[in-house]
Structure 1
Amino acid sequence: MLRRLLVSLVVFLVVGAIGSYGLMRNALATPICYFDSVDEVSVIGQTGHIHIGTLDNVNAWVGTYLIDLDFETAYDVYDGRYEGYCIEDIYSPDNEGGYALYDAEGSSANYEAAAYLFNQYASSVSSNAERAGLQLAIWEAVFDYGSYNLTQGNGNFYVYNGYLSSAITYANTYLNSLNLFNPDTFNASGYGLVSDDNPLSLDPQCYQDYIIANPIPEPSTMILLSSLAIGLFGVFGIRKRLLRG
Structure 2
Amino acid sequence: MKKTSLEQLHREHQPDAIEKRLNADNNPQTISDAVLGAIDGCITTFAVVCGAFGAGFSASVALILGFANLLADGFSMAVSNYEASKAQLELREQARRMEEEHIDRVPDGEQEEIRQLFQMKGFSGEILEAIVTTISQDRQLWVETMLVEEHGLQKAEITPWRSAGVTFATFLLAGSIPLLPFFVGGLTMRWQFIFSTALAGAVFFAIGTLKSLVFAKPILRAGLGTLLTGGAAAAIAYLTGYLLQQSFGVF
Which structure has the greater CA radius of gyration?
2
TM-score bracket relative to the smaller structure: under 0.3
The structure with higher relative contact order (CA 8 Å, sep 6+) is 2
TM-score by length of 1: 0.23
